[in-house]
Copies of this chain bind each other. A is one copy, B any other.
């Protein structure tokens, strides 16, 4: 008997009865919810830590102010993590609603949308971390060959706060990477052999 044929309701919202299936699905849902909450909190932390970071220094009677918009990679980091936080919050609400209702959508469009969204967010957050980390290395150590100075020598407090933001961003991006695997599992397990044999499209 196929997984997909267990108790399918007319509205493509099947309620299934296998105990093992229920336990596994519950675990997957809980893991998904925890990860989405983690990404949301980490994303907000990044936006706050980096987005509010400023430092003013006086150099030869001239006041100079460092802010995150001075580095495009930090702007990208804040935007990417802001998007990840909002997206994760919306998906967490969907998870909770699904858990309260106790039903599962087995129609393919929704798992495909969730999978695509999760993949996009995972690559977006990883790319943002990589770009920000590259900028942070340049700011910390400079690039003597190109006459790019170590700005962290001048703006130490600013750099430390950015480092905290990048650490949170690493946590968020690890969460999105694991989550993209969970949603891939939730989508592709629907493509069982029986489905192919019955002429199912993919």
Please, which residue of chain B has its CB at the minimum distance from the CB of A193? B3
Cβ A123 vs Cβ B177 within 8 A = yes
Cβ A134 vs Cβ B137 within 8 A = no
* Chain A 101-132 per-residue mask, 1 if CB under 8 angstroms from chain B, else 0: 00000000000000000010011001111110
* Chain A 1-32 per-residue mask, 1 if CB under 8 angstroms from chain B, else 0: 11110100000000000101100100000000
Q: How large is the interface on A (under 10, 10 to 19, 20 to 34, 35 or more residues)?
A: 35 or more
Quick check: is A70 within 8 A (CB to CB) of the other chain? yes
Residues of chain B lying within 8 A (CB to CB) of residue A3: 192-194, 196-197
Which of A37-45, A90-98, A182-190 touches B?
Answer: A182-190
Q: In the assembly, what is the distance between CA of A18 and CA of B72, in Å?
A: 54
Q: How many copies does the complex hold?
A: 2
Q: In the assembly, what is the distance between CA of A1 and CA of B193, in Å?
A: 8
Q: In the assembly, what is the distance between CA of A196 and CA of B185, in Å?
A: 13
Partner-B contacts on A (CB < 8 A)? 1-4, 6, 18, 20-21, 24, 66, 70-73, 119, 122-123, 126-131, 133-135, 137-139, 143, 145-149, 151, 177, 181, 184-185, 187-189, 191-194, 196-197, 199, 202
15 new A-B contacts, CB < 8 A, other than A4-B193, A123-B126, are A3-B193, A20-B199, A70-B146, A71-B146, A72-B134, A119-B181, A127-B130, A130-B130, A130-B131, A135-B138, A138-B138, A138-B148, A148-B148, A185-B188, A188-B189
